[in-house]
Amino acid sequence: MTITIIRPGTRILTVGSRGVRISQPGGAAAIPWYLSGGIPAANCVAAYNAKSAASLADSYVNLNAPGVNNAAPGVAPTWATGTGWTFNGSTQWLIVGSVVPTNNQTWSYIVRFSGASNTGSLGGTGTGSNPYISLQPFRGPGTGRSYSNGGELVFAGAYASGIMAVAGNACYINGAPEPGPIPTTAGVLPGFGIGRTHIGGTYIAANIQACAIYQTMPLSAAQVLAVSTAMAAL
């Protein structure tokens, strides 16, 4: 079933099986949630809405370009409508196509999650002292949160649920900016994983409802807020 909400003079929100699409009055093209805030489609490497997918197989489809950079199981997570992917914290993770990020802080990663209960990563590239992309809602263990995009920033206070993002050298929680910037670190990034980093990362015990990866231009603060708001409505 599809529900359309019209907000006079502003925008139209269409809520369907694959999430929220935003369009302007007067027949303008619908804007999918992962391009909210004016993000060019060419900059979106992959976007997934596991929460609203029709099946586990359907949840792997890259909404921005089906068939290109679809996710594939390292070990498949559990899946359910409403919860999305559930990762067990020990074996389950996904691989994002053949994506190899550039280590120049031009990439962005945003994730909506819930039920996080260990120090694992919501996804990204490498780990440790090497350059990497990673989001950890628990860090310490359980006493903080961390954001990595080249180097790492750690803050007091863990989150069991919410929306975390890195965008260039900036980091965000639920659409709000955290103090920064993230430091730079030289080196080569490996591939991209969801549910743990692609190389050597700790597996997350959490549900992931939706996530998106971007390249070329870091998302602006306004774009992170727009995507976060759209993700929260999925």
Sign of CA dihedral 63, 64, 70, 74: negative
108 has which bridge partners? 167, 214
Work out the mean pLDDT of the chain and round it to a whole number: 88
Q: Is residue 190 part of a domain?
A: yes
With beta carbons less than 8 A apart as the criterion, state whether 118 and 204 touch: yes
99: domain range?
Answer: 37-232
Cα(58)–Cα(15) distance, rounded to whole angstroms?
18
Q: Is residue 106 part of a domain?
A: yes
Q: Is residue 30 part of a domain?
A: no
Q: Is residue 174 part of a domain?
A: yes
Q: Is residue 17 part of a domain?
A: no
Over the chain (234 residues), the average pLDDT of each successive run of 10 is 37 48 57 97 98 98 98 98 97 94 93 95 84 89 88 94 98 97 88 92 95 96 98 97
Q: Is residue 1 part of a domain?
A: no
- Give how many domains the chain has, as a whole number: 1
**CATH code, domain carrying 153:** 2.60.120.200
Q: Is residue 23 part of a domain?
A: no
Structure confidence by residue, pLDDT tens digits, 99-138: 999 888 999 999 999 999 999 999 999 866 678 999 999 9
Q: Is residue 6 part of a domain?
A: no
